[in-house]
Each structure stands twice: as C-alpha cells, then as structure tokens.
Amino acid sequence: MGFLEVRDLKVHYPIRGGVLNRVQDHVKAVDGVNLSIESGKTYGLVGESGSGKTTIGKTIIGLEKATSGKILYEGEDVTNKARSRNKKFENYNKDIQMIFQDATSSMNPKKRIIDVMSEPMRNYFNYTPQETKKRVADLLEIVGMNAEAMYKYPHEFSGGQRQRIGVARAVASDPKLIIADEPTSALDLSVQAQVLNFMRRIQKEYDLSYLFISHDLGVVQHMSDDIAIMHRGRFVEQGSKEEIYKNPQHIYTKRLLSAIPDMDPTTRAAHKVERQRVEAEYDAQETDYYDPKGRVYDLQRYDEEHYVALKPEEPNASLQNENVNTGGGN
C-alpha cells in the first residue's frame, strides 16, 4: 500500500459537434489506470505522444479533473480536491509538487528567483523573511547554485540552471511526491546529466518519490525503480525496471524497446533486422493484444511485480516461443 493510490482513474474529454453542439463522443485520454506510490521510489511513466501520460500527472496534482475513479492520499479520498482551500486537504496540496518540461514558462518572468521559490513556503509555512532567505539559499545549494542567484530573474539563467531552480522550487514545500513531466526533454545531453544527478541526490536526501513522465526510454531506465508503459490511455505493461527491459511481454513494449537507437554502430544491421521483425510482428498480432475496439486489455499478473495487458481467456500461444530479448538500447 502506497501513500498515494490511484484507482481506476478515467479522464475523458467530450467531443462536441453537430447543430446543437451536443456531446457526440469522448476522447479517452486516460481510461482506467491504477497506480500505487510508495515513498522513496521512482515510478517511470512511458508512452508516445498522445498516450495520456501527462494527463495522469496533471490529474494527480489537480490541473485536470478526473471523470471517474479515485485518488487516495494517506487513505483519504482527495479526487479533484487538489487546489482546494479546505484545510483538510492542505497536506495533499503541500506534499505533491510538479516539475514541468519547460522551465522558462513555469516561472513568472517578472519575479526574482527568491520570490519564485518562496511562494510555496508562504503558502505552507510561517517563515520570517530571514528564514525564507536562508531556506532559499539552502535549496539553491542542493541544486548546485550560488545563493546570489536568488536576486536574479529567470531569464538570466541558462536552460539547465532554470530547470534546476524548478527542481529546487518543487522541493521547497517539503513534498513527498514530485511529478516530473519530461523534466529534461528540452536539455542537452550534458546538462540533462546534471539535472538527473541532482534529482537523484535530492531523492536520497529527502526520501522523495518521483512520478517520472517521459518518452525517453533511456532516461526512464536510468531513473526508475518501477515502470508503466502507456498506450491509448491505458497501461499495457507495468512492473519492475528489470522485468520491463529484460523480459517485455506486450507487443507494444517490445516495439517501443526495439525502436531505441542502439549505441553500438557495429551491430547496426542486426538491430535493424530485429526492429523490423518486431514491427512486422506488431502489425500481424495487433488484434491479439487489443480488443476489437482497439482498447488495451486489463492488466493481468504475469509474474511477481510484473503485469501485462493480455487477452483474458486463452493464454496467447505465441507468447511461449516468444522470449526473444528485444534489447534495451545502450
């Protein structure tokens, strides 16, 4: 049991049309997803664009409304209660924070860093100005920045520095879970390495959990303990990092893993053959892994700590002779 539980979460958006602008259909951005988040662990959420991974993060933090399903925080139902002014939900608001992909637009350009970072503190703690300043300096230090940085404006920093400030701000309210939505996708390789290192250091220091949302399978492998692969608003596979990367079962996971560029140019040809084989298999077997409407099946227990969305009745015959490792990239 984790401190945060997401149960059968659905987020549907209405499609309106026709003469009377009636609701004609729904886009099922998230369609029945379960998550359990324990402290100190990192959960990777992987999927291609449009798979609904960002919507899950936004719904947990209250930027989107859940259509149905529950979010439980410490056993209490907090669904759609984020951003509530009710004192009862104060802890939930304080304990869950978010880091965005674009650090520039997530900071007010007219505010200095000290103002940007002290806002969560003002909301949740009664610090004196001296205490605030001290705390901001401490936070900047843990992301490797000078205390003088607090008097500058966001535009005075490079992209990597701004993202580190974004991380520091998320930590300011002393949260338990940080939802990181593509935190390094806009950054160069060497800058990304720096941000990821700081995120891991902070995690150890504060016993934080991360919900790490990314399309980059290499970064997710580096950061996560547990991984969920998303497609069409549902999880196709969920499990420990080792299981997902070394022993993928769902055809979509295999396809995704085989598409990661291989860092060894000498095995290029073999990798390409394997990738195209998986691609062909995906096209041929799509109906075995998705119901007639194209919906992903419910997750089933495949192994300890490994769940796969497979057809309910007969076990898939092709699975037994299909234990080829599709390779996890680098």
Partner 1 sequence: MAVERSLLEVNNLETGFRFGDVYHNAVDDVSLTLENNEILAIVGESGCGKSTLATSIMGLHDPKNTEIKGEVIYKDLNLLDLNEKLYNRIRGNDIGMIFQDPLGSLNPLMTIYNQISESLEYHSDLNEEQRRARVLELLNQVGIPRPEQIMKNYPHELSGGMRQRVVIAIALANKPPVIIADEPTTALDVTIQAQILDLMVDIQDETGSGIILITHDLGVVAETADRVAVMYAGQIVEEAPVEELFANPKHPYTRSLLNSIPHELEDDDDELHVIHGTVPSLQKLPRKGCRFAPRIPWIPEDSHEENPVLHEISPNHKVRCTCWKHFHFEGEDE
- The site for partner 1 (CB under 8 A) is made up of 48-49, 158, 160, 188-194, 196-197, 200, 204, 215-219, 221-223, 245, 255-256, 258-266, 268, 271-272, 275-276, 279, 328-330
Angle of CA points 238, 241, 242, to nearest 5°: 115
CA-CA-CA-CA torsion sign (244, 246, 251, 253) = positive
CB 328 → partner 1: shortest distance, Å?
8
Could you tell me if 248 and 326 are in contact, meaning their C-beta atoms sit under 8 angstroms apart?
yes
Check residue 244 and report its DSSP letter. H
CB 188 → partner 1: shortest distance, Å?
4
CB 252 → partner 1: shortest distance, Å?
9
CB 28 → partner 1: shortest distance, Å?
19
Identify which of residues 160 and 166 has a Cβ nearer to partner 1 in the complex: 160
Token pair 């790490």 in the structure block, residue: 212
Identify which of residues 131 and 188 has a Cβ nearer to partner 1 in the complex: 188
Identify which of residues 101 and 192 has a Cβ nearer to partner 1 in the complex: 192
d(CA 177, CA 194): 21
CB 157 → partner 1: shortest distance, Å?
10
Identify which of residues 96 and 229 has a Cβ nearer to partner 1 in the complex: 229
Identify which of residues 119 and 216 has a Cβ nearer to partner 1 in the complex: 216
Identify which of residues 6 and 208 has a Cβ nearer to partner 1 in the complex: 208
Identify which of residues 78 and 213 has a Cβ nearer to partner 1 in the complex: 213
CB 215 → partner 1: shortest distance, Å?
7
CB 87 → partner 1: shortest distance, Å?
38
Q: How far is CA 3 from CA 13, 39, 64, 82, 318, in A?
A: 28, 7, 21, 16, 38
Could you tell me if 286 and 296 are in contact, meaning their C-beta atoms sit under 8 angstroms apart?
no
Could you tell me if 10 and 80 are in contact, meaning their C-beta atoms sit under 8 angstroms apart?
no
Token pair 């309106």 in the structure block, residue: 16
Query: Roughly what angle, to the nearest 10 degrees, separates helices 129-142 and 189-206?
Result: 120
CB 258 → partner 1: shortest distance, Å?
8
How distant is the alpha carbon of residue 39 from its chain centre?
A: 15
- Based on its alpha-carbon atoms, the radius of gyration of the chain, rounded to whole angstroms, reads 21
Token pair of 99 as six digits: 């880091």
Identify which of residues 265 and 292 has a Cβ nearer to partner 1 in the complex: 265
Beta carbons within 8 Å of 259's beta carbon, 6+ residues apart: 275
